[in-house]
Structures are given as C-alpha cells and as structure tokens.
C-alpha cells in the first residue's frame, strides 16, 4: 500500500473492467493456441497435414515444409480471428481506438504475411540443422536463431515498424534542445528521435527506445507529443534515455540468449524423447509433423518464464525511472505525465499483487508515482 501522504487516485470501474477483460483475452488466446497444438499432436492431424503439404510441395522437402507452415498458420488464424476481432472491438468499446475496420483487416493481413516470412526463415533453419546434425542441431540452431534475432532487433525500427505505422524525424526545436542537454549530461548520444503516428489507430499514448547501433532511436507517439507539456515530454524522454544509458536492450538480448539456449536444449530433449518412445506418428527427427511439439515446448516455456522475465523488465523500468528523476530539474512533470498516461491509456494504477507479478512488464503506476514523490521529498527539501 502507498503511504498516507501519497494520495493515490483510485481506479475507475471502467479501468478495472477494461484491464480484467484484456487479461482474460490474453489467457483465452494462450489457451486456444495451447489446445490447438495438443489436438494437432494427439489426433494425428499433424501427420495428415504433413502428407497434404508433401502433395502441395511436389515432394520437395523445403517447399513442403513451407506448405506445412502455411497450412498451420492459415488454420490457426481462422480459429483465432474471432478473438482478434474481439480485441479490436474492445478498444472501440472503451473509446481507446481510432482505427477503422478496413484498416484493422489490412493490419491483420500484413501481420499474417510478416509472421509467415519470419516463421518460414525460422523453420527452414530449424529443420536444416535437424537433418544435418540430429544430435547437436540445437546448438547450431540456437546460434543461427540468435543471429537472426539480433538482425531483426536492428532492422525493426526501419523495416518492421513502418509496415504498421508512419514515423518521421521530430521537428520540435524546443524538444530537440532538451534532448541534447539531457544527452550531453549523460555523456551519450541517441541518433534520433521520431514522431510515431499512433493517432491514426489509437487514442493511447506511448514512447519507446528501439533499435541497435545505427538504428538506435527514441520514438514518441504523436498522441503524447500533441497533448503533453514540454517538461512532461522531457520527463518521458529522460526515462527512455535511462534505458539507453543502462544498456537495457543489450542486456535483454543477453537474457534472451540464455533463455533461448535453454529452450532449444529442452526442445531437443523433448523431441528425442517423443521419437524414441514412438509417442506420436513421427518416427524421425526431421519429420516436420513434429513442429507442433517444438512450438508446444516454446509456448509452455514462455508461459513459465513470464513472471521472471516481467520481474526483470520491471527492474529495468525502475532503473530508467530513477535515471529520469536524476536528470530532470523537478519530479513534478514526471508525476503529471504518469498520471496523464494512466488516464489516457485506461491503465490500472493499483493492480493486485499477483496480477502485477505475473502480467506486468512495468511497475504499477501507483508504485512509480510513490517512488517519484519519495525521490522528490529527499532531494528538494531545504536542509531537513
């Protein structure tokens, strides 16, 4: 609980309802995916789809593997489109969206194609290594996968994000000057700040640090830039700069590297176990009808690791917040920007402990505000 001196604004019934439905939507989505994979394996439909893929792919292994992936993605999209649409209409129901139905459909199409391309690269690499090195494939697959991951982290701001949103360099002189001062004080340089045209789709506001090396940049939603004061935006910039100074993207990649290595090891173990005991109708490692089993390992692991990865993310967020407190003249604009963001995004300010522990990548707004107030008290009081 926050202390008495801190008047924490209570969550509106609307915010509570919105966040509860969103969480259930997430759980339903996870359960649907999980069930789909279990059914594919348990019924032998995966083997049937593999045979169909071989016919479609003229018996060529790589082409048939692609066809198999395509069939799998089409079926899962068809099964999941109802939940996706529910998510779209939920944002409208709570007046958080400005996106038209047509634009949403177009995003769904683009999202599907991006998933297909990235998925195809991953599965082709996976089964190439599986065929060549049945015992140690997972180490090489892991190295190749991480290489791809790093390339994608670098390309995302210039290739991936622009598929869905427009970005343009920030042309506000006042803000540019503020950023230069902040950066100089930090002894670092961020290569760019971009205006992110989020307003075309949403009323929510957001900001992020993205990219690697030459593509490293801070993106600020226009919904934030147009409605917040210079001081408030500076506070948000300072937080994002905190992520940059503390090298959070690089550190997260290292964490990802370790998690992925364990994931590939577990996938290899599971695959050998299933094949050796003839649990399903695939008797070879390279039989891609076992892809749902690999996906299942990854889904279960991400679920189990979610609290730990979220805790790590919250630790980074607290560090970025502290960096912001130190770099701005007063914590007041930080506090008012947090309040505005919570209101605008219909965020839950005081989620229950376990909800925060399991689901939240950011500390609860109430905690972030309390930390800012605490810092303000310690550093602005004239000689206590």
Task: List interacting residues with Zn ion (CB under 5 A).
Answer: 317, 320
Q: Which is nearer to Zn ion, 22 or 318 (CB)?
A: 318
Q: How far is the CB of 208 from Zn ion (least distance, A)?
A: 7
Sign of CA dihedral 225, 228, 233, 234: positive
Residues 332 and 70 sit within 8 Å (Cβ to Cβ): no
Q: How far is the CB of 243 from Zn ion (least distance, A)?
A: 6
Q: How far is the CB of 236 from Zn ion (least distance, A)?
A: 9
Q: Which is nearer to Zn ion, 69 or 320 (CB)?
A: 320
Q: Which is nearer to Zn ion, 161 or 280 (CB)?
A: 161
Q: Which is nearer to Zn ion, 205 or 267 (CB)?
A: 205
Q: How far is the CB of 320 from Zn ion (least distance, A)?
A: 5
Q: How far is the CB of 312 from Zn ion (least distance, A)?
A: 13
CA–CA distances in Å: residue 274 to residues 134, 278, 285, 305: 14, 6, 9, 23
Q: How far is the CB of 20 from Zn ion (least distance, A)?
A: 24
Q: How far is the CB of 355 from Zn ion (least distance, A)?
A: 19
Q: What is the per-residue burial (b if ≥16 Cβ within 10 Å, else e) of 11-46?
A: beeebeebbeebeeeeeeeeeebeebbeebbeeeeb
Q: Which is nearer to Zn ion, 234 or 317 (CB)?
A: 317
Q: Which is nearer to Zn ion, 317 or 348 (CB)?
A: 317
Q: How far is the CB of 314 from Zn ion (least distance, A)?
A: 10
Q: Which is nearer to Zn ion, 170 or 237 (CB)?
A: 237
* Interatomic CA distance for residues 242 and 254, integer angstroms: 18
Q: Which is nearer to Zn ion, 242 or 351 (CB)?
A: 242
Q: Which is nearer to Zn ion, 53 or 348 (CB)?
A: 348
Q: How far is the CB of 168 from Zn ion (least distance, A)?
A: 22
Q: How far is the CB of 321 from Zn ion (least distance, A)?
A: 8
CA–CA distances in Å: residue 301 to residues 41, 46, 199, 266, 291: 18, 21, 35, 9, 16
Q: Which is nearer to Zn ion, 98 or 183 (CB)?
A: 183
Nearest C-alpha neighbor of 249 from the set 141, 362, 154: 154
Long-range own/partner contacts, residues 166-172 (CB < 8 A, 24 or more apart): 166/196, 166/197, 166/200, 167/194, 167/195, 167/196, 167/197, 167/219, 168/194, 168/195, 168/197, 169/193, 169/194, 169/195, 170/194, 170/195, 170/220, 170/225, 171/195, 172/225
């Amino acid at each position: 609980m926050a202390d008495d001196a801190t008047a924490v604004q209570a969550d509106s019934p609307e915010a509570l309802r919105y966040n509860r439905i969103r969480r259930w939507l997430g759980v339903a989505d996870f359960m649907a995916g999980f069930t789909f994979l279990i059914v594919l394996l348990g019924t032998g439909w995966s083997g049937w789809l593999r045979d169909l893929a071989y016919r479609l792919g003229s018996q060529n292994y790589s082409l048939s593997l692609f066809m198999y992936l395509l069939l799998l993605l089409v079926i899962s999209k068809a099964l999941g489109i109802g939940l996706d649409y529910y998510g779209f209409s939920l944002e409208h129901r709570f007046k958080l969206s400005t996106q038209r139905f047509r634009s949403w459909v177009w995003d769904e199409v683009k999202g599907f194609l991006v998933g297909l391309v990235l998925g195809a690269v991953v599965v082709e690499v996976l089964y190439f290594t599986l065929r060549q090195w049945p015992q140690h494939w997972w180490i090489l697959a892991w190295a190749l996968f991480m290489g791809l991951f790093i390339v994608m982290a670098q390309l995302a701001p210039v290739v991936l994000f622009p598929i869905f949103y427009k970005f343009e360099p920030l042309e506000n002189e006042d803000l540019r000057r503020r950023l230069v001062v902040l950066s100089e004080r930090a002894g670092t340089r961020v290569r760019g700040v971009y205006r992110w045209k989020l307003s075309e789709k949403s009323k929510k506001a957001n900001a992020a640090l993205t990219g690697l090396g030459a593509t490293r940049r801070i993106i600020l939603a226009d919904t934030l830039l147009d409605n917040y004061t210079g001081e408030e935006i500076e506070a948000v910039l300072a937080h994002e700069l905190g992520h940059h100074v503390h090298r959070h993207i690089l550190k997260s990649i290292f964490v990802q590297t370790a998690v992925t290595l364990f994931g590939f090891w577990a996938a290899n173990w599971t695959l050998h176990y299933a094949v050796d005991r003839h649990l399903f109708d695939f008797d070879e490692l390279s039989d891609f009808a076992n892809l749902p089993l690999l996906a299942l390992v990854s889904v279960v692991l991400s679920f189990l690791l979610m609290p730990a990865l979220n805790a790590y993310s919250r630790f980074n967020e607290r560090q970025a917040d502290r960096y912001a407190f130190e770099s701005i003249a007063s914590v007041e604009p930080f506090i008012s920007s947090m309040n505005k963001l919570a209101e605008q995004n219909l965020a839950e300010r005081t989620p229950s402990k376990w909800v925060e522990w399991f689901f939240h990548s950011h500390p609860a707004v109430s905690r972030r505000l309390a930390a800012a107030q605490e810092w303000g008290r310690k550093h602005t009081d004239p000689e206590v």
